[in-house]
Amino acid sequence: MAASLIRLHFHDCFVQGCDASILLDDSATIQSEKNAPNNNNSVRGFEVIDNVKSQVESICPGVVSCADILAVAARDSSVAVGGPTWTVKLGRRDSTTSGLSQAAANLPSFRDGLDKLVSLFSSKGLNTREMVALSGSHTIGQARCVTFRDRIHDNGTNIDAGFASTRRRRCPVDNGNGDDNLAPLDLVTPNSFDNNYFKNLIQRKGLLQSDQVLFNGGSTDSIVTEYSKSRSTFSSDFAAAMVKMGDIDPLTGSNGEIRKLCNAIN
């Protein structure tokens, strides 16, 4: 679940801040962010967070927010698969609203080009180098065929032919055929948090278009090259960028609330 839990924190923070709004289910007053195009049938790990929350509540009721649990779970997930650790700031509170209407515009898409990714992360206070470092979380996890079908079938110049051929075996060209078949984002060490993601990009073996655009003759090629050569540089940059991401528009003081259940407002 490591990749999914890191992504959950990321998709939370990019929509109205790190406020656990992504965890809220549909209700009379809430339109759930889980229904956003970039989240639906894709974001997962909710039951892990609910389990953590129930155990924390039994020991220390009404104190630890779901937003903080998401932030800590992301850090612990990185550590569990050999990635860096960092000190998680605590004290976020939980939202009483959902940001469904903002989700489509605020979450990156697998189709995004480099300029779009740079501007989107910049709008959240994250610079280009931090965007590339955070993209390196794709050193773990999997993607559905529907997200990389176009890239592996369009015979583009920025994809290794053998890699494309291998991926086509479980991802046919026709929409609706194998849409949910999974492939690892990092084909070399899919369950280990390392810098192979960047080495793959240099070999034109990025799975998603939004991965390969980071190394495609543009302004970020030099950063990808640097990370491909130094796992330690990538790890320290990733850790620092995760701390900064966890700082996006938190609710503090008397704003928001501490939810009793992560999927519903009190």
Residue 21 marked ligand-binding: yes
What does the chain come to in residues? 266
Residue 112 marked ligand-binding: no
Residue 186 marked ligand-binding: yes
**Distance of alpha carbon 104 from the chain centroid:** 14
Tally of CB atoms within 10 A around 160: 13
Q: Read off φ and ψ for residue 143, nearest 5 degrees.
A: -130, 150
Residue 189 marked ligand-binding: yes
Side chain identity at residue 221, one-letter code? D
Residue 9 marked ligand-binding: no
Residue 12 marked ligand-binding: yes
Residue 153 marked ligand-binding: no
Catalytic residue, from 7, 9, 11, 93: name it.
11
Residue 247 marked ligand-binding: no
| Rounded-to-integer distance, Cα 183 and Cα 159, Å | 16
Residue 97 marked ligand-binding: no
Residue 4 marked ligand-binding: no
9 as an active site residue: the answer is no
Q: Which residues make up each annotated binding site?
A: 12, 15, 17, 19, 21, 33, 108, 138-139, 186, 189, 194
Q: Which residues make up each annotated binding site for substrate?
A: 108
Catalytic residues: 11
Q: Which residues make up each annotated binding site for heme b?
A: 138
Q: Which residues make up each annotated binding site for Ca(2+)?
A: 12, 15, 17, 19, 21, 33, 139, 186, 189, 194
